[in-house]
Chain A
Amino acid sequence: MDITPTQVLDASGLACPMPIIKTKKAVDALKVGDILKMISTDPGSVSDVAAWTAKTGQELLGHEDVEGKHVFYIKKTK
């Protein structure tokens, strides 16, 4: 995906709910407009990250699977 992230969070190996918690903390530390690239191996992350962005109002720019890992791009909107 042709997106340049501001920061990368590797949550590989972590189980629910840690990828979401780490994502929240990482996004909290960003500035509005910044983009977080989050990497997870938890299959539940695919629906959880979408749910998290829907609930918090942050923007999920995209999701791709790279070498068996889920990669998400999240833009901080507020």
Chain B
Amino acid sequence: MAEETTKRLAVIASHGTMDAAYPPFILATAGAAMDMEVAIFFTFFGLEILKKGKIDKLKVAPIANPAMPVPIPNIIGMLPGMTAAATAMMNSWMKKSKVAKLSELLEMSKELGVKLIACQMTMDVMGVKREDLVDGLEVGGAATFLEFASHNAITLTF
């Protein structure tokens, strides 16, 4: 190889919705498959993704989301049950396109050696205990993530 390319990928997952949880895992697993060293830092609502039993139950919010494939006006989106309906619709499309489930991507990430870091500070803020989260994680702070990223990593935020 003529040219030296970046070896590290550092991803921040800060949202707890289904649509926001996919890109970090897709890019992390693809990066690991491309022989990159990858870390995902789960902070703020991103911690929701790591809660035991939660990952395949994350929701898509139809409200204030004008990009839904079938647009749902906010006044309808605010009605009870609409978030569940939008989520079910999205899940059925994902299944039809044979996109891997988030739980599968999480397992794949671990298998490929992706470093999963849960943010200590937001765990404290939101009252999340280590035992509330899935196994195979590291708990750390900003410095933990930045030290990893400082070695010429591509950094992506979701």
Partner-B contacts on A (CB < 8 A): 13-18, 20-21, 23-24, 48, 51-52, 55-57
Contacts and interface: CB of A to CB of B under 8 A. Distances in A.
B98 A17 contact: no
B interface, by DSSP: helix, strand, loop or mixed? loop
Listed residue (B30, B33, B100) with the most chain A CB atoms within 10 angstroms of its CB = B33
Interface of B: 1, 5, 26-27, 29-30, 33-36, 97-100, 108, 112
A51 B11 CA distance: 20
Contact of A13 (B27, B30, B98, B108): B98
Contacts of A51: 34
Contacts, number: 40
Contact of A56 (B35, B97, B112): B35
Contacts of B26: 16-17
A39 B95 CA distance: 21
A interface, by DSSP: helix, strand, loop or mixed? helix
A25 B97 CA distance: 22
B98 A21 contact: no
B100 A20 contact: no
